Amino acid sequence: MRKIYIAGFDVFYLDAKERGEKMKEICSNYGFEGLFPLDKEIKEYSSNNDLAEKIFNNNIHLIKQSDIIIANLNNFRGSEPDSGTSFECGVGFALDKKLYGYVDSMEDIIKKYDKKHEVYIFESKQYLDENNMFIEDFDLPLNLMLSIPMTIIQGNFEDTVKEVQLKHNPKNPCKYCGKNTFYNTYYSGFMCTNCLSDGFSMM
């Protein structure tokens, strides 16, 4: 069974452990094992710095164990994704993991950023932020260092797991005809498109 590392700022919610269990359940429903950063509770540490180091090492270990990373790349405490999550995606890229991220909006960065103004440099229109620094304009929803190596999905965590299942978990046969397929929650099993269509037509 392929393993998914669940990255994102979800670990900062008050109900983080419950959210993690729900995400892991979603992974299981689609034929994956979910790995959540809070799976291992660290009880022994000598200082806050020691705790931080153990959390870091534990998360890196989980990333190494995984086959796929799914990251929550929505804005966190500002106009960019969580910096720790971005780092984990970079580690995953270096380790040749399959990288997926999800966002609420696929709008270009330029359209998302409200505090901007136009300037013309050599007759080319550019955009600057409130600190007069360039805003990248590559028709991408996130910084190019995330958008280029990752598959970005508009939607939520489960939407992304569905996409991953279609591309990276093809060994689950249709419960009716045996062909490679995807997980259908209504029928509680893996089905191919033809059998799914036949099933709905018989309803």
Domains of the chain: 1-106+141-169 (3.40.50.450), 107-140 (no CATH), 172-203 (no CATH)
Asked whether the whole model's pTM tops 0.85, one would answer no
Would the pLDDT of 100 be above 80? yes
48 in Cβ contact with 182 (< 8 Å): no
Please tell me the predicted confidence (pLDDT) of residue 145.
97
155 in Cβ contact with 149 (< 8 Å): no
The pLDDT confidence band at residue 177, using thresholds 50, 70 and 90, is low
Distance in angstroms (rounded) separating the CA atoms of residues 11 and 151: 22
Alpha carbon of 172 to those of 58, 76, 191: distances in Å? Answer: 31, 36, 9
Would the pLDDT of 53 be above 80? yes
Please tell me the predicted confidence (pLDDT) of residue 71.
98
Would the pLDDT of 200 be above 70? no
197 is written with which tokens?
A: 């269509």
Phi-psi region of 132 (alpha: psi -120 to 50; beta: other; left: phi over 0): left
